[in-house]
Amino acid sequence: MYLLLVEDDQRLTRLLKHLLGREGHTVDSAADGLQARRFLAEGDYDLLILDWMLPGVNGIELCRAARQAGFSSGILMLTAKDSLDDRLQGFAAGADDYLLKPFEPPELLARIEALGRRIYLPLQENELTVGDWTLDCAARRLQHRNGSESELTQREFQLLELLMRRAGQNLPREVIFNRVWGRDQTVTDNTLDATLHLLRKKLTSMDEQQPIQTLRGLGYRFQAD
């Protein structure tokens, strides 16, 4: 999933980004509410992980503003505030779940997975099929109807999953950069080109008809017809 982490503790931010990235998520991070508002206006996030105590705009205000602006994705609040009134305030502002600090990493991952199943069930199936192609999301393995298979690296999987979920749609390079690598990463055009080249090579070895189309000046499209 494409996640936005809003946390002013930079040490915790680094730890969580490493943890979530290792699980295959793409993570952008914001250190305050104002920066988070800008990211939310520009990005198409699947989940917002939001600290309550933030400089400037606090987590409750940001949560409420995000919902009022039409943000319909999941929101997980992180906070040391543990009273019933605090939790009710968070839910009233639009949060879907609530995790008390300090927490253990496995619990955070479990809650993210649970939110994914509950809110984004159509996006969380174990297999994604488009035309003759089936992507095993758990094993990061691509299969073709002719019986051929190919193992994918994490970046190849994230890129192909994005293209297949948006099959038939044009995806600009900027959208791919943000959703696969995240806006915090320094990624050059060569990085995307190299990943695309290796992915296409695997696809061509399975079927001579290449489903990833280049739309010059516009982006890329997965066309399985």
Specify which of 84-98, 130-144, 169-183, 184-198 reaches the highest per-range mean pLDDT: 130-144
Alpha helices in 51-182 (DSSP H): 59-68, 84-93, 105-119, 154-165, 173-176
Q: Which pLDDT belongs to residue 125?
A: 58
Mean pLDDT of 73-94: 85
Cα 13 from Cα 200, distance rounded (Å): 34
Q: Give the pLDDT of residue 185.
A: 62
Mean pLDDT of the chain: 86
pLDDT confidence tier of residue 220, bands split at 50, 70 and 90: very high
> For the whole model, what pTM was predicted?
0.65
58 pLDDT above the threshold of 50 = yes
Q: Residue 50: what pLDDT?
A: 92
All structural domains of the chain, each given as residue ranges with its CATH number in brackets, are 2-122 (3.40.50.2300), 127-222 (1.10.10.10)
Distance CA 218, CA 215 (A): 5
Asked if 75 and 51 count as a contact pair (C-beta separation under 8 A), the reply is no
